[in-house]
Structure 1
């Protein structure tokens, strides 16, 4: 008979193109995996642990969506092209709110200085800051309404100016969902 010498390489079977890269599990292994996935918690403690894990996973997805702006996992109040436009519009403009915290700290320092003139100056800075912020929000309202009428003429505007005002009152680095545009960026014409 013909014998193969030990020095000759054994023929290899080429890998199947498009294969899954692992052997098919046996029926016993597949059924055990299915039972493990469908396992119902037996005790209240196991049930609470499973709910806590699911809640943690859901909140982790939502946090990532808030950072990245992923529409699928955003809360209902932040979903949709109209809300995205408002967020981008507020984030792309300079707001006096950015200066609010330093001015409020300055007015607080002047108010606690003990000098009557400094106290009056601190109050003036405080009230001027508040008036400028109110004026900025009123102007934002008119600009948002005009842009909404131009870009989304058939969309209802109820609650949108309040959404824009609340977003503009937050410091830029604390806003959620995170700003996707920088100050001065040109916004796209369509948000559909």
Structure 2
């Protein structure tokens, strides 16, 4: 008697709401939904098992955000040692240049391997290996000094009010890693000016 016909139900279905161009793209939650979400976030775990599961899940999500930030350079989720515009500038400064320290480990590994393998057959090779080690150490020290001094000068020009404490060691530590294994990932190409 009071049933609707099929044609009436089809016509009364509202169309999908169109969001405003500057809108958030989703409807505002009702008060009941917002309170339930807030209470769920504040709810304490009932036992140790739930607490450890909650803690593990929280650590896992934070670690995933941090790893993603290491790939993309998102400053919000980077570790405290890598956060801030000064640290980003230091990373870009290091990544934009070639460095002796970057290639020191592979070169020293090859030189020491050659010295160990062939020193019995060629006794004079030990002197050359020692000389190469000494030359590499001097080049690394010179590169370290030039990198620290250049970075400190560039940072004081770009960020005059920021402290440069610990920045040289941060840059040197990054330089010691090969470019493809650096984290956060390099955002500039070699030879490019850091922004």
Counterpart selection for 2:104 from 89, 100, 103: 100
CA distance in 2, matches of 1:31, 1:138: 58
Given the alignment of the two structures, is residue 175 of structure 1 paired with residue 179 of structure 2, yes or no? no
Give the TM-score of the pair, scaled to structure 1: 0.79
Shift of 1:39: 4.7
CA distance in 2, matches of 1:136, 1:31: 58
The aligned residue for residue 138 of structure 2 is 131
CA distance in 1, matches of 2:63, 2:51: 18
Counterpart selection for 1:55 from 44, 59, 82: 59
Aligned residues: 180
Unpaired segments ≥5 residues, structure 1:
1-5
Query: How large is the RMSD of aligned CA atoms in angstroms?
Result: 3.0
Unpaired segments ≥5 residues, structure 2:
1-5, 20-24
DSSP 3-state at the match of 2:192: coil
Whether the 8 Å contact between 1:107 and 1:121 is mirrored in structure 2 is: no
Structure 2 CA distance for partners of 1:21 and 1:12, relative to 1, 3 Å: farther
Deviates further, 119-128 or 87-96: 119-128
The aligned residue for residue 69 of structure 2 is 65
The aligned residue for residue 11 of structure 2 is 12
CA distance in 2, matches of 1:34, 1:168: 45
CA distance in 2, matches of 1:122, 1:11: 87
The aligned residue for residue 117 of structure 1 is 124
Give the TM-score of the pair, scaled to structure 2: 0.78
